[in-house]
Amino acid sequence: MKVHFVIHESFEAPGAYLRWVKERGHTATFTHLHGGDALPADASQHDMLVVMGGPQSPATSQAECPHFNAHAEMVLIRSFVEVGKLVVGVCLGAQLLGEALGGQHERSPEKEIGKFPITLTPEGRTNPKFADFTDTLDVGHWHGDMPGLTSEATIIATSEGCPRQIIEYSSRAYGFQCHMEFTPEVVEMLIAASTQELAALRDRPFVQKADMLRAQDWSQMNQALFGFLDKLEAERAS
């Protein structure tokens, strides 16, 4: 399977998503937007699209961030969805996926940075793709926004600080506001890029300090993510 990653910033790395690709023997290709790479022309050369996070929002203009073209990314995302390719959006990527399908992103009730539990909804507990998730699972977070909903969307998981943590837009398109791809290396890059943000938000209820972030074990959520991705891959053959 050919998996294409859209990466907005060097410190928003694919982490466990890329490890899953390598461990399953798939092929990974990349658009590093921060490095000036162009987006793929269409979905024809790829089986799966993973759009990673970033400090931007779907409303960020190219005047504000020259290497970020939200409209072009949403056109690409729609092209994958329309031909039945697999799509996963992470954080900003989830918001872009929702917008591409007609759902307006919104501010999350709380900023979340750290490791906090998500809870599966009744729909999430009966969705076979999430059979490897416990009803409540501690996962990574680093966000202030959340993806929009379409009329076909189903909320799979929520958290105390954000009511839209995982969204099913279709059986082949999912938005993860949470960061189940975190590894110690990815978290270290985020900490290095976010010194001022962490200091400014240190008193918020769902924001952990750098030393606490470094102390977390991300392996259980990585394995739950792998179980989801295995089942999503199986959807491609159905």
Q: Provide the token pair at 64.
A: 């504000």
CATH level 3 topology of 2-237 = Rossmann fold (3.40.50)
Residues sharing a CB contact under 8 Å with residue 192, sequence separation 6 or more, in sequence order: 11
Kindly report, residue by residue over 181-214, the tens digit of the pLDDT. 999 999 999 999 999 999 999 999 999 999 999 9
Kindly report, residue by residue over 60-108, the tens digit of the pLDDT. 999 999 999 999 999 999 999 999 999 999 999 999 999 999 999 999 9
Q: Is 63 exposed, middle or buried (0-12, 13-18, 19+ CB in 10 A)?
A: exposed
Kindly report, residue by residue over 136-167, the tens digit of the pLDDT. 999 999 999 999 999 999 999 999 999 999 99
pTM for the complete prediction? 0.98
